[in-house]
Structure 1
Amino acid sequence: MPLHWRILNAAGWLGVVSVNAAAATGGLFGRSSGEISDKVPTLVTPAGYAFSIWSVIYLLALGYVVAAFLPSRRHDQTMRATAPWFFASCLFNVGWLFVWHAERYTASAFVISGLLLTLIALYLSSRPAARAAGDRSGFFLIALPFSIYLGWVTVATIVNISVALRAGGWDGWGVPDRTWAVALFVVAAALSAVAAFKDRDPWFPLTVAWALIAIGVKQQSASQLVAVAAWTAASIAIAAALFKLRGIAGLKPRRM
Protein backbone atom coordinates (compact mmCIF):
# COMPACT_ATOMS: atom_id res chain seq x y z
CA MET A 1 0.00 0.00 0.00
CA PRO A 2 1.43 3.45 -0.90
CA LEU A 3 2.60 5.54 2.03
CA HIS A 4 0.10 8.32 1.40
CA TRP A 5 -2.82 5.92 1.83
CA ARG A 6 -1.38 4.59 5.06
CA ILE A 7 -1.08 8.12 6.43
CA LEU A 8 -4.51 9.20 5.17
CA ASN A 9 -6.19 6.14 6.67
CA ALA A 10 -4.48 6.64 10.02
CA ALA A 11 -5.60 10.28 10.02
CA GLY A 12 -9.11 9.23 8.93
CA TRP A 13 -9.37 6.74 11.79
CA LEU A 14 -8.20 9.34 14.32
CA GLY A 15 -10.73 11.81 12.93
CA VAL A 16 -13.59 9.34 13.18
CA VAL A 17 -12.75 8.35 16.75
CA SER A 18 -12.28 11.98 17.85
CA VAL A 19 -15.57 13.18 16.36
CA ASN A 20 -17.42 10.14 17.72
CA ALA A 21 -16.02 10.82 21.18
CA ALA A 22 -17.24 14.41 20.94
CA ALA A 23 -20.64 13.20 19.74
CA ALA A 24 -21.00 10.71 22.56
CA THR A 25 -20.35 13.38 25.19
CA GLY A 26 -22.58 16.05 23.69
CA GLY A 27 -19.68 17.94 22.16
CA LEU A 28 -21.43 18.34 18.78
CA PHE A 29 -24.11 21.04 18.99
CA GLY A 30 -24.62 20.19 22.65
CA ARG A 31 -26.54 16.94 22.04
CA SER A 32 -25.55 13.29 22.17
CA SER A 33 -26.47 10.86 19.40
CA GLY A 34 -28.90 9.03 21.67
CA GLU A 35 -30.74 12.22 22.60
CA ILE A 36 -31.30 13.03 18.95
CA SER A 37 -32.49 9.51 18.18
CA ASP A 38 -35.02 9.69 21.04
CA LYS A 39 -36.55 12.83 19.52
CA VAL A 40 -37.93 10.83 16.59
CA PRO A 41 -38.85 7.35 17.89
CA THR A 42 -39.51 4.57 15.38
CA LEU A 43 -40.38 0.90 15.64
CA VAL A 44 -36.92 -0.06 14.34
CA THR A 45 -34.87 1.93 16.84
CA PRO A 46 -32.64 -0.41 18.90
CA ALA A 47 -31.97 -0.27 22.64
CA GLY A 48 -29.12 2.01 23.63
CA TYR A 49 -26.75 -0.78 24.62
CA ALA A 50 -26.54 -1.90 20.98
CA PHE A 51 -24.49 1.16 20.06
CA SER A 52 -21.59 -0.14 22.16
CA ILE A 53 -20.64 -2.16 19.08
CA TRP A 54 -19.03 1.01 17.72
CA SER A 55 -16.19 0.41 20.18
CA VAL A 56 -15.60 -3.03 18.67
CA ILE A 57 -15.76 -1.63 15.14
CA TYR A 58 -13.24 1.12 15.81
CA LEU A 59 -10.89 -1.25 17.63
CA LEU A 60 -10.94 -3.67 14.70
CA ALA A 61 -10.47 -0.75 12.28
CA LEU A 62 -7.41 0.29 14.29
CA GLY A 63 -5.98 -3.17 13.64
CA TYR A 64 -6.49 -2.59 9.92
CA VAL A 65 -4.76 0.82 10.10
CA VAL A 66 -1.79 -0.56 12.04
CA ALA A 67 -1.49 -3.58 9.74
CA ALA A 68 -0.89 -1.25 6.79
CA PHE A 69 2.38 -0.16 8.40
CA LEU A 70 3.65 -3.71 8.93
CA PRO A 71 6.45 -4.72 6.51
CA SER A 72 4.64 -7.97 5.76
CA ARG A 73 1.55 -6.04 4.55
CA ARG A 74 3.31 -3.28 2.65
CA HIS A 75 2.74 -4.94 -0.73
CA ASP A 76 -0.50 -6.71 0.14
CA GLN A 77 -2.87 -6.35 -2.82
CA THR A 78 -5.97 -6.58 -0.66
CA MET A 79 -4.70 -3.76 1.54
CA ARG A 80 -4.06 -1.71 -1.58
CA ALA A 81 -7.57 -2.39 -2.92
CA THR A 82 -9.30 -1.50 0.33
CA ALA A 83 -7.31 1.63 1.21
CA PRO A 84 -9.30 4.25 -0.78
CA TRP A 85 -12.62 2.82 0.35
CA PHE A 86 -11.56 2.89 3.99
CA PHE A 87 -10.64 6.56 3.77
CA ALA A 88 -13.95 7.31 2.02
CA SER A 89 -15.81 5.51 4.81
CA CYS A 90 -14.06 7.72 7.37
CA LEU A 91 -15.19 10.86 5.53
CA PHE A 92 -18.79 9.65 5.34
CA ASN A 93 -18.72 8.60 9.00
CA VAL A 94 -17.58 12.04 10.17
CA GLY A 95 -19.94 13.80 7.77
CA TRP A 96 -22.89 11.76 9.02
CA LEU A 97 -22.19 12.70 12.63
CA PHE A 98 -22.28 16.40 11.82
CA VAL A 99 -25.53 16.31 9.84
CA TRP A 100 -27.18 13.96 12.34
CA HIS A 101 -26.30 16.19 15.27
CA ALA A 102 -27.52 19.19 13.31
CA GLU A 103 -30.84 17.27 13.10
CA ARG A 104 -30.80 17.30 9.32
CA TYR A 105 -32.49 13.95 9.14
CA THR A 106 -33.01 13.79 5.38
CA ALA A 107 -29.41 14.78 4.71
CA SER A 108 -28.22 12.23 7.27
CA ALA A 109 -30.13 9.49 5.44
CA PHE A 110 -28.29 10.32 2.22
CA VAL A 111 -24.91 10.48 3.98
CA ILE A 112 -25.33 7.17 5.79
CA SER A 113 -26.44 5.63 2.49
CA GLY A 114 -23.13 6.85 1.06
CA LEU A 115 -21.34 5.25 3.99
CA LEU A 116 -23.22 2.01 3.33
CA LEU A 117 -22.17 2.00 -0.33
CA THR A 118 -18.50 2.60 0.53
CA LEU A 119 -18.65 -0.20 3.11
CA ILE A 120 -20.14 -2.57 0.53
CA ALA A 121 -17.20 -1.77 -1.74
CA LEU A 122 -14.82 -2.15 1.19
CA TYR A 123 -16.39 -5.45 2.17
CA LEU A 124 -16.18 -6.88 -1.34
CA SER A 125 -12.58 -5.75 -1.85
CA SER A 126 -11.57 -7.25 1.53
CA ARG A 127 -13.04 -10.72 0.88
CA PRO A 128 -9.81 -12.18 -0.59
CA ALA A 129 -8.30 -11.83 2.89
CA ALA A 130 -11.13 -13.96 4.28
CA ARG A 131 -10.45 -16.71 1.75
CA ALA A 132 -6.65 -16.70 1.82
CA ALA A 133 -5.47 -20.07 3.06
CA GLY A 134 -2.96 -19.95 5.89
CA ASP A 135 -3.31 -16.21 6.51
CA ARG A 136 -5.29 -15.96 9.74
CA SER A 137 -3.89 -12.53 10.58
CA GLY A 138 -5.15 -11.25 7.23
CA PHE A 139 -8.63 -12.41 8.14
CA PHE A 140 -8.61 -10.70 11.54
CA LEU A 141 -6.92 -7.50 10.36
CA ILE A 142 -8.56 -6.98 6.96
CA ALA A 143 -11.74 -9.02 6.44
CA LEU A 144 -13.33 -9.27 9.90
CA PRO A 145 -13.45 -5.50 10.65
CA PHE A 146 -15.52 -4.77 7.58
CA SER A 147 -17.89 -7.71 7.99
CA ILE A 148 -18.92 -6.33 11.37
CA TYR A 149 -18.83 -2.70 10.24
CA LEU A 150 -21.08 -3.42 7.23
CA GLY A 151 -23.46 -5.55 9.29
CA TRP A 152 -24.03 -2.76 11.79
CA VAL A 153 -24.32 0.05 9.23
CA THR A 154 -26.81 -2.01 7.20
CA VAL A 155 -29.23 -1.91 10.12
CA ALA A 156 -28.24 1.65 11.05
CA THR A 157 -29.14 2.79 7.53
CA ILE A 158 -32.59 1.23 7.88
CA VAL A 159 -33.07 3.02 11.21
CA ASN A 160 -31.78 6.34 9.86
CA ILE A 161 -34.05 6.28 6.79
CA SER A 162 -37.00 5.39 9.02
CA VAL A 163 -36.23 8.39 11.25
CA ALA A 164 -35.92 10.68 8.23
CA LEU A 165 -39.26 9.51 6.83
CA ARG A 166 -40.97 9.89 10.19
CA ALA A 167 -39.51 13.35 10.72
CA GLY A 168 -40.65 14.33 7.23
CA GLY A 169 -44.23 13.31 7.98
CA TRP A 170 -44.39 10.30 5.64
CA ASP A 171 -47.49 8.22 6.41
CA GLY A 172 -46.17 4.96 4.99
CA TRP A 173 -48.67 5.09 2.10
CA GLY A 174 -51.29 4.06 4.60
CA VAL A 175 -49.44 0.87 5.59
CA PRO A 176 -49.11 0.50 9.38
CA ASP A 177 -45.69 1.11 10.92
CA ARG A 178 -45.68 -2.42 12.30
CA THR A 179 -45.98 -3.87 8.82
CA TRP A 180 -43.08 -1.79 7.52
CA ALA A 181 -40.95 -2.82 10.51
CA VAL A 182 -41.61 -6.51 9.93
CA ALA A 183 -40.83 -6.12 6.21
CA LEU A 184 -37.50 -4.48 7.05
CA PHE A 185 -36.66 -7.34 9.42
CA VAL A 186 -37.34 -9.82 6.62
CA VAL A 187 -34.90 -7.90 4.39
CA ALA A 188 -32.26 -7.92 7.16
CA ALA A 189 -32.65 -11.67 7.65
CA ALA A 190 -32.42 -12.29 3.90
CA LEU A 191 -29.23 -10.23 3.61
CA SER A 192 -27.78 -12.17 6.52
CA ALA A 193 -28.50 -15.48 4.79
CA VAL A 194 -26.88 -14.24 1.57
CA ALA A 195 -23.74 -13.17 3.43
CA ALA A 196 -23.55 -16.48 5.28
CA PHE A 197 -24.12 -18.82 2.36
CA LYS A 198 -22.86 -16.88 -0.63
CA ASP A 199 -19.87 -15.13 0.97
CA ARG A 200 -19.20 -17.76 3.67
CA ASP A 201 -19.32 -14.96 6.20
CA PRO A 202 -20.91 -15.67 9.61
CA TRP A 203 -19.85 -12.34 11.14
CA PHE A 204 -22.13 -10.11 9.08
CA PRO A 205 -25.28 -12.02 10.15
CA LEU A 206 -24.16 -12.18 13.77
CA THR A 207 -23.79 -8.39 13.78
CA VAL A 208 -27.20 -7.96 12.19
CA ALA A 209 -28.63 -10.30 14.84
CA TRP A 210 -27.08 -8.14 17.57
CA ALA A 211 -28.93 -5.13 16.20
CA LEU A 212 -32.22 -6.99 15.70
CA ILE A 213 -32.21 -8.37 19.24
CA ALA A 214 -31.66 -4.83 20.55
CA ILE A 215 -34.58 -3.58 18.43
CA GLY A 216 -36.80 -6.24 19.98
CA VAL A 217 -35.68 -5.24 23.47
CA LYS A 218 -36.43 -1.58 22.76
CA GLN A 219 -39.80 -2.15 21.07
CA GLN A 220 -41.35 -4.90 23.19
CA SER A 221 -43.32 -2.37 25.24
CA ALA A 222 -44.48 -0.51 22.10
CA SER A 223 -45.42 -3.54 19.98
CA GLN A 224 -45.10 -7.18 20.91
CA LEU A 225 -45.51 -8.11 17.25
CA VAL A 226 -42.51 -6.00 16.23
CA ALA A 227 -40.41 -7.41 19.07
CA VAL A 228 -41.22 -11.02 18.15
CA ALA A 229 -40.58 -10.32 14.47
CA ALA A 230 -37.21 -8.73 15.28
CA TRP A 231 -36.20 -11.68 17.45
CA THR A 232 -37.37 -14.17 14.82
CA ALA A 233 -35.28 -12.44 12.15
CA ALA A 234 -32.34 -12.42 14.57
CA SER A 235 -32.78 -16.17 15.10
CA ILE A 236 -32.65 -16.75 11.35
CA ALA A 237 -29.47 -14.68 11.08
CA ILE A 238 -27.87 -16.57 13.97
CA ALA A 239 -28.87 -19.95 12.53
CA ALA A 240 -27.32 -19.04 9.18
CA ALA A 241 -24.14 -17.87 10.92
CA LEU A 242 -23.85 -21.00 13.04
CA PHE A 243 -24.45 -23.25 10.04
CA LYS A 244 -21.69 -21.50 8.16
CA LEU A 245 -19.35 -21.56 11.16
CA ARG A 246 -19.85 -25.32 11.34
CA GLY A 247 -18.99 -25.58 7.65
CA ILE A 248 -15.88 -23.44 8.04
CA ALA A 249 -14.75 -25.57 10.95
CA GLY A 250 -15.19 -28.66 8.80
CA LEU A 251 -17.80 -30.21 11.06
CA LYS A 252 -20.49 -32.41 9.58
CA PRO A 253 -23.68 -33.68 11.16
CA ARG A 254 -23.55 -37.20 12.47
CA ARG A 255 -25.36 -39.94 10.62
CA MET A 256 -27.71 -41.91 12.81
Structure 2
Amino acid sequence: MATSSTSSTARTGEPARGSDLARQITVTACFVFCIVGSMVGVGVFGGTPVAESAGGALSADATYLAPASPAFSIWSVIYTGLGLYTLYQWLPRQRTSPRQRSLGWLVAASLVLNAAWILSVQADSVPLSVAVIVLLLVVLAWLFVRYSACRPDSWVEAVVVDGTLGLYLGWVSVATAANTASLLTSQGFRGFGLPAEAWSIAVLAAIVLVAVGLAAYGRGRLAPALAIGWGLSWIAVSRVNGGLENTATAVAAAVAAVLVLLGTAAFRLRSRRGTDSRPAGAARPQTAG
Protein backbone atom coordinates (compact mmCIF):
# COMPACT_ATOMS: atom_id res chain seq x y z
CA MET A 1 0.00 0.00 0.00
CA ALA A 2 1.36 3.43 -0.94
CA THR A 3 1.89 5.77 2.00
CA SER A 4 1.48 9.54 2.07
CA SER A 5 5.28 9.74 2.18
CA THR A 6 5.48 7.67 -1.01
CA SER A 7 2.87 9.89 -2.63
CA SER A 8 4.82 12.99 -1.65
CA THR A 9 8.04 11.48 -2.95
CA ALA A 10 6.43 10.74 -6.28
CA ARG A 11 5.08 14.24 -6.47
CA THR A 12 8.28 16.12 -5.58
CA GLY A 13 10.91 13.65 -6.70
CA GLU A 14 12.51 13.44 -3.27
CA PRO A 15 11.60 12.10 0.18
CA ALA A 16 10.57 14.13 3.18
CA ARG A 17 13.36 15.75 5.15
CA GLY A 18 13.63 16.39 8.85
CA SER A 19 13.51 20.09 8.05
CA ASP A 20 10.04 19.66 6.55
CA LEU A 21 8.53 18.64 9.88
CA ALA A 22 10.55 21.34 11.62
CA ARG A 23 9.12 23.89 9.20
CA GLN A 24 5.54 22.78 9.83
CA ILE A 25 6.00 22.88 13.60
CA THR A 26 7.70 26.28 13.43
CA VAL A 27 4.92 27.81 11.34
CA THR A 28 2.34 26.49 13.80
CA ALA A 29 4.20 27.77 16.87
CA CYS A 30 4.72 31.17 15.25
CA PHE A 31 1.03 31.40 14.36
CA VAL A 32 0.06 30.74 17.97
CA PHE A 33 2.58 33.38 19.09
CA CYS A 34 1.14 35.85 16.58
CA ILE A 35 -2.44 35.25 17.72
CA VAL A 36 -1.50 35.73 21.36
CA GLY A 37 0.27 38.95 20.40
CA SER A 38 -2.76 40.19 18.46
CA MET A 39 -4.99 39.54 21.46
CA VAL A 40 -2.66 41.63 23.59
CA GLY A 41 -2.90 44.33 20.94
CA VAL A 42 -6.67 44.58 21.25
CA GLY A 43 -6.55 44.83 25.02
CA VAL A 44 -6.83 41.19 26.07
CA PHE A 45 -4.42 39.89 28.74
CA GLY A 46 -4.06 43.39 30.13
CA GLY A 47 -2.62 44.89 26.96
CA THR A 48 -3.31 48.42 25.77
CA PRO A 49 -5.27 48.70 22.51
CA VAL A 50 -2.99 49.79 19.67
CA ALA A 51 -4.90 53.02 19.07
CA GLU A 52 -4.30 54.04 22.69
CA SER A 53 -0.65 53.01 22.86
CA ALA A 54 2.34 55.31 22.43
CA GLY A 55 0.32 58.33 23.49
CA GLY A 56 -2.22 57.81 20.70
CA ALA A 57 0.44 58.10 17.96
CA LEU A 58 -1.30 55.32 16.01
CA SER A 59 -4.89 56.44 16.48
CA ALA A 60 -7.22 57.20 13.57
CA ASP A 61 -6.78 60.94 14.12
CA ALA A 62 -3.01 60.98 14.63
CA THR A 63 -1.97 61.79 11.04
CA TYR A 64 -3.51 62.43 7.64
CA LEU A 65 -2.51 58.91 6.58
CA ALA A 66 -4.17 57.11 9.49
CA PRO A 67 -7.11 54.93 8.37
CA ALA A 68 -10.41 55.00 10.24
CA SER A 69 -10.75 52.35 12.94
CA PRO A 70 -13.01 49.96 10.93
CA ALA A 71 -10.14 49.49 8.46
CA PHE A 72 -8.37 47.27 10.95
CA SER A 73 -11.13 44.68 10.74
CA ILE A 74 -9.19 43.33 7.76
CA TRP A 75 -6.90 41.69 10.31
CA SER A 76 -9.72 39.27 11.12
CA VAL A 77 -9.69 38.10 7.51
CA ILE A 78 -5.89 37.94 7.38
CA TYR A 79 -5.60 36.02 10.65
CA THR A 80 -8.30 33.60 9.53
CA GLY A 81 -6.39 33.05 6.31
CA LEU A 82 -3.14 32.53 8.19
CA GLY A 83 -4.87 30.00 10.42
CA LEU A 84 -6.11 28.13 7.34
CA TYR A 85 -2.62 28.31 5.87
CA THR A 86 -1.20 26.81 9.05
CA LEU A 87 -3.64 23.90 8.78
CA TYR A 88 -3.14 23.56 5.03
CA GLN A 89 0.62 23.19 5.29
CA TRP A 90 0.05 20.14 7.53
CA LEU A 91 -1.66 18.20 4.73
CA PRO A 92 0.45 15.17 3.77
CA ARG A 93 0.99 16.39 0.23
CA GLN A 94 2.26 19.73 1.49
CA ARG A 95 5.07 18.39 3.68
CA THR A 96 7.42 17.93 0.71
CA SER A 97 5.82 20.54 -1.52
CA PRO A 98 8.53 22.67 -3.16
CA ARG A 99 6.18 25.62 -2.80
CA GLN A 100 5.82 25.14 0.95
CA ARG A 101 9.56 24.65 1.30
CA SER A 102 10.00 27.98 -0.43
CA LEU A 103 7.36 29.85 1.58
CA GLY A 104 7.05 28.25 5.00
CA TRP A 105 10.05 29.72 6.80
CA LEU A 106 9.28 33.20 5.50
CA VAL A 107 5.67 32.90 6.61
CA ALA A 108 6.93 31.94 10.07
CA ALA A 109 9.22 34.99 10.08
CA SER A 110 6.30 37.24 9.13
CA LEU A 111 4.24 35.88 12.02
CA VAL A 112 7.03 36.58 14.50
CA LEU A 113 7.49 40.10 13.12
CA ASN A 114 3.74 40.67 13.32
CA ALA A 115 3.76 39.85 17.02
CA ALA A 116 6.97 41.84 17.51
CA TRP A 117 5.28 44.91 16.04
CA ILE A 118 2.46 44.64 18.56
CA LEU A 119 4.92 44.21 21.41
CA SER A 120 6.92 47.25 20.26
CA VAL A 121 3.74 49.33 20.30
CA GLN A 122 2.89 47.99 23.74
CA ALA A 123 6.32 49.25 24.80
CA ASP A 124 5.31 52.71 23.46
CA SER A 125 8.22 52.65 21.00
CA VAL A 126 7.02 54.09 17.70
CA PRO A 127 10.55 54.11 16.19
CA LEU A 128 10.94 50.39 16.95
CA SER A 129 7.49 49.67 15.53
CA VAL A 130 8.49 51.33 12.24
CA ALA A 131 11.69 49.28 12.06
CA VAL A 132 9.72 46.09 12.66
CA ILE A 133 6.97 46.83 10.15
CA VAL A 134 9.52 47.70 7.47
CA LEU A 135 11.17 44.31 8.05
CA LEU A 136 7.73 42.69 7.88
CA LEU A 137 7.04 44.44 4.57
CA VAL A 138 10.35 43.20 3.17
CA VAL A 139 9.54 39.61 4.18
CA LEU A 140 6.06 39.81 2.65
CA ALA A 141 7.47 41.27 -0.57
CA TRP A 142 9.99 38.42 -0.66
CA LEU A 143 7.12 35.97 -0.23
CA PHE A 144 5.24 37.70 -3.06
CA VAL A 145 8.18 37.18 -5.40
CA ARG A 146 8.39 33.52 -4.42
CA TYR A 147 4.74 32.56 -4.72
CA SER A 148 4.37 34.55 -7.93
CA ALA A 149 7.11 32.40 -9.45
CA CYS A 150 5.26 29.09 -9.04
CA ARG A 151 1.66 28.19 -9.63
CA PRO A 152 -0.58 26.83 -6.88
CA ASP A 153 -1.77 23.26 -7.37
CA SER A 154 -5.44 24.05 -6.83
CA TRP A 155 -7.93 26.84 -6.30
CA VAL A 156 -7.86 26.01 -2.59
CA GLU A 157 -4.14 26.71 -2.46
CA ALA A 158 -4.63 29.83 -4.57
CA VAL A 159 -7.09 31.21 -2.03
CA VAL A 160 -5.52 29.97 1.21
CA VAL A 161 -1.89 30.67 0.32
CA ASP A 162 -1.75 33.30 -2.44
CA GLY A 163 -4.91 35.10 -1.38
CA THR A 164 -4.01 35.29 2.29
CA LEU A 165 -0.43 36.38 1.71
CA GLY A 166 -1.58 38.89 -0.89
CA LEU A 167 -4.00 40.54 1.53
CA TYR A 168 -1.27 40.50 4.17
CA LEU A 169 1.18 42.27 1.85
CA GLY A 170 -1.34 44.83 0.63
CA TRP A 171 -2.49 45.84 4.08
CA VAL A 172 1.02 46.01 5.53
CA SER A 173 2.03 48.27 2.61
CA VAL A 174 -0.59 50.81 3.68
CA ALA A 175 0.14 50.28 7.38
CA THR A 176 3.84 50.94 6.82
CA ALA A 177 3.07 54.34 5.32
CA ALA A 178 0.69 55.18 8.18
CA ASN A 179 3.17 53.95 10.80
CA THR A 180 5.99 56.00 9.29
CA ALA A 181 3.79 59.09 9.23
CA SER A 182 3.00 58.57 12.90
CA LEU A 183 6.72 58.37 13.70
CA LEU A 184 7.53 61.57 11.83
CA THR A 185 4.64 63.39 13.46
CA SER A 186 5.58 62.18 16.94
CA GLN A 187 9.15 63.34 16.36
CA GLY A 188 8.01 66.84 15.43
CA PHE A 189 8.70 66.64 11.68
CA ARG A 190 7.43 69.83 10.01
CA GLY A 191 7.77 68.82 6.37
CA PHE A 192 10.52 71.27 5.41
CA GLY A 193 7.92 74.00 5.13
CA LEU A 194 5.53 72.03 2.92
CA PRO A 195 1.96 71.57 4.18
CA ALA A 196 1.05 68.21 5.68
CA GLU A 197 -1.50 67.47 2.95
CA ALA A 198 1.21 67.86 0.29
CA TRP A 199 3.27 65.15 1.97
CA SER A 200 0.19 62.99 2.39
CA ILE A 201 -0.69 63.24 -1.28
CA ALA A 202 2.90 62.42 -2.24
CA VAL A 203 2.86 59.31 -0.05
CA LEU A 204 -0.51 58.26 -1.46
CA ALA A 205 0.95 58.58 -4.95
CA ALA A 206 3.86 56.39 -3.87
CA ILE A 207 1.44 53.76 -2.57
CA VAL A 208 -0.30 53.75 -5.95
CA LEU A 209 3.05 53.18 -7.67
CA VAL A 210 3.81 50.29 -5.32
CA ALA A 211 0.40 48.76 -6.01
CA VAL A 212 0.84 49.11 -9.76
CA GLY A 213 4.28 47.54 -9.48
CA LEU A 214 2.81 44.58 -7.61
CA ALA A 215 0.07 44.26 -10.23
CA ALA A 216 2.60 44.32 -13.05
CA TYR A 217 4.87 41.75 -11.42
CA GLY A 218 2.02 39.51 -10.28
CA ARG A 219 0.08 39.77 -13.55
CA GLY A 220 -2.91 41.42 -11.93
CA ARG A 221 -3.14 39.53 -8.66
CA LEU A 222 -6.24 40.79 -6.89
CA ALA A 223 -5.55 40.26 -3.19
CA PRO A 224 -2.80 42.89 -2.73
CA ALA A 225 -4.83 45.45 -4.66
CA LEU A 226 -7.99 44.76 -2.67
CA ALA A 227 -6.16 45.23 0.63
CA ILE A 228 -4.42 48.40 -0.54
CA GLY A 229 -7.68 49.76 -1.93
CA TRP A 230 -9.37 48.93 1.37
CA GLY A 231 -6.76 50.81 3.37
CA LEU A 232 -6.81 53.84 1.07
CA SER A 233 -10.60 54.00 1.18
CA TRP A 234 -10.58 54.11 4.97
CA ILE A 235 -7.95 56.83 4.94
CA ALA A 236 -10.39 58.83 2.81
CA VAL A 237 -13.22 58.13 5.26
CA SER A 238 -11.09 59.14 8.22
CA ARG A 239 -10.25 62.49 6.61
CA VAL A 240 -13.88 63.42 6.03
CA ASN A 241 -15.46 61.88 9.11
CA GLY A 242 -13.02 62.07 11.98
CA GLY A 243 -11.18 64.37 14.30
CA LEU A 244 -8.54 65.28 11.72
CA GLU A 245 -10.41 66.25 8.58
CA ASN A 246 -8.66 67.26 5.36
CA THR A 247 -10.50 67.38 2.06
CA ALA A 248 -7.42 67.29 -0.17
CA THR A 249 -6.09 64.14 1.46
CA ALA A 250 -9.54 62.53 1.43
CA VAL A 251 -9.97 63.13 -2.29
CA ALA A 252 -6.43 61.97 -3.04
CA ALA A 253 -6.92 58.77 -1.03
CA ALA A 254 -10.22 58.00 -2.77
CA VAL A 255 -8.69 58.61 -6.21
CA ALA A 256 -5.69 56.49 -5.24
CA ALA A 257 -7.95 53.59 -4.25
CA VAL A 258 -9.73 53.73 -7.61
CA LEU A 259 -6.44 53.91 -9.53
CA VAL A 260 -5.08 50.89 -7.67
CA LEU A 261 -8.11 48.78 -8.51
CA LEU A 262 -8.32 49.95 -12.13
CA GLY A 263 -4.60 49.48 -12.66
CA THR A 264 -4.70 45.96 -11.27
CA ALA A 265 -7.74 45.10 -13.38
CA ALA A 266 -5.90 46.35 -16.47
CA PHE A 267 -2.87 44.16 -15.78
CA ARG A 268 -5.11 41.18 -15.06
CA LEU A 269 -7.01 41.67 -18.31
CA ARG A 270 -3.75 42.04 -20.20
CA SER A 271 -2.48 38.80 -18.68
CA ARG A 272 -5.64 36.94 -19.64
CA ARG A 273 -5.50 38.27 -23.20
CA GLY A 274 -1.91 37.10 -23.42
CA THR A 275 -3.04 33.66 -22.27
CA ASP A 276 -5.83 33.52 -24.82
CA SER A 277 -3.33 34.22 -27.62
CA ARG A 278 -1.06 31.31 -26.62
CA PRO A 279 -1.05 28.04 -28.57
CA ALA A 280 -3.45 25.36 -27.38
CA GLY A 281 -1.98 23.36 -24.52
CA ALA A 282 0.39 26.11 -23.41
CA ALA A 283 0.63 26.70 -19.67
CA ARG A 284 -1.76 29.29 -18.34
CA PRO A 285 -0.08 31.95 -16.17
CA GLN A 286 -1.36 31.98 -12.60
CA THR A 287 -3.01 35.19 -11.44
CA ALA A 288 -4.79 33.87 -8.38
CA GLY A 289 -4.33 35.86 -5.19
TM-score normalised by the chain length of structure 1: 0.90
1:150 and 1:204 in contact (8 A); partners too: yes
Deviations 1:10-47 (A, max 9, x none): 1111111111012112545x420122378230000000
1:16 and 1:93 in contact (8 A); partners too: yes
Distance 1:38 1:208 in 2: 26
Are 1:204 and 2:224 matched, yes or no? yes
Give the equivalent residue in structure 2 for 1:2.
Answer: 20
Distance 1:103 1:218 in 2: 23
Are 1:63 and 2:80 matched, yes or no? no
Aligned-residue offset at 1:209: 0.5
Are 1:47 and 2:68 matched, yes or no? yes
Distance 1:150 1:159 in 2: 14
Which one has the largest radius of gyration?
2
Identity %: 26
Give the equivalent residue in structure 2 for 1:119.
Answer: 140
Distance 1:198 1:147 in 2: 13
Distance 1:173 1:205 in 2: 32
RMSD: 2.1
How many residue pairs get aligned? The number is 249
Distance 2:163 2:208 in 1: 20
Deviations 1:214-239 (A, max 9, x none): 00000125110100000000000111
Aligned-residue offset at 1:248: 6.0
Are 1:91 and 2:112 matched, yes or no? yes
Q: Which consecutive unaligned segments of at least 5 residues does structure 1 have?
A: none
Give the equivalent residue in structure 1 for 2:287.
Answer: none
Deviations 1:129-163 (A, max 9, x none): 5x34x632221222111111000001101111111
Q: Which consecutive unaligned segments of at least 5 residues does structure 2 have?
A: 1-18, 276-289
Distance 2:176 2:105 in 1: 22
Are 1:142 and 2:161 matched, yes or no? yes
Look up the SS of the partner of 2:139 in the other structure.
Answer: helix
Give the equivalent residue in structure 1 for 2:214.
Answer: 195
Identify which range, 224-233 or 92-101, moves more after superposition: 92-101
Distance 2:217 2:268 in 1: 13
Aligned-residue offset at 1:98: 0.9
Aligned-residue offset at 1:210: 0.2
Distance 1:26 1:44 in 2: 27
Aligned-residue offset at 1:101: 1.7
Report 1:32-43 matches (<5 A): 32-36=49-53, 39-40=56-57, 41-43=62-64
The one-letter amino acid of 2:200's match is: A
Look up the SS of the partner of 1:2 in the other structure.
Answer: helix
